[in-house]
Amino acid sequence: RDQKPFDALTQEMIPRWREQLANSPLKIWCCASSTGQEPLSIIMSILEHDGRENSFDLEATDISAQALAKASSGLYTSLDVQRGLPGELLTKYFESASDNRWQAKSELLSKVKYSFFNLFTGNYIPNKYHIIFCRNVLIYQNQENKRKILEQLQLSLKPGGFLVLGAGESLVGMNIDLTQENLANCMVFVKK
């Protein structure tokens, strides 16, 4: 529904990393991925604009087993797919299924690895990711929990890595070592 983060991904973030990575895959983490629309949108954006199918590794995590099961199935209602997905991408990456539902094609689903992760107790790996999407999670947290999550996400970013938060989320009041940048009209945070 909000195209700006995906424009920032394809127009700004990926080109910056491509210069440095050469043929190495871009490591992307979509934490709190819920039922999978965001990771699939990331994949479609990359495939449509970058064209290199093996140029990225995408991990998508969530705390809800039910959300992860739906995400892994790739099966969505018509209402799910009509919330911001252009018709040409729907017909290119999904197939019509029974009961007025849509099934993500296997080529799309095979490009994401879904797994369980708790943002409070999970084992964060330092300097692992070039890009982290953590949208619309922090708005539900108090200041202390928000700080804990942001510290760990910052730790997991590679130097120069990007953190994408939701449009209503910021680092105001946080002492986190990330700088704010406007990329393709989307506010993102960069690890120094």
What does the block give as tokens for 37? 């629309």
What does the block give as tokens for 192? 């120094």
pLDDT of residue 53: 63
pLDDT of residue 115: 98
What does the block give as tokens for 1? 């529904």
State the SS3 of the chain.
CCCHHHHHHHHHHHHHHHHHHCCCCEEEEECCCCCCHHHHHHHHHHHHHCCCCCCEEEEEEECCHHHHHHHHHCEEEHHHHCCCCCHHHHHHHEEEECCCEEEECHHHHCCEEEEECCCCCCCCCCCCEEEEEECCCHHHCCHHHHHHHHHHHHHHEEEEEEEEECCCCCCCCCCCCEEEEEECCEEEEEEC
pLDDT per residue, tens digit, the chain (192 aa), is 689 999 999 999 999 888 787 778 899 999 999 999 999 999 999 999 876 666 899 999 999 999 999 999 999 999 998 888 899 999 999 999 989 999 999 999 999 999 999 999 999 999 999 999 999 999 999 999 999 999 999 999 999 999 999 988 888 888 888 999 999 999 999 998
Is this structure's pTM higher than 0.85? yes
pLDDT of residue 60: 98
- Cβ atoms 27, 160 nearer than 8 A: no
Amino acid identity of residue 57, one-letter, is: D
Structural Rg of the chain based on CA atoms: 16
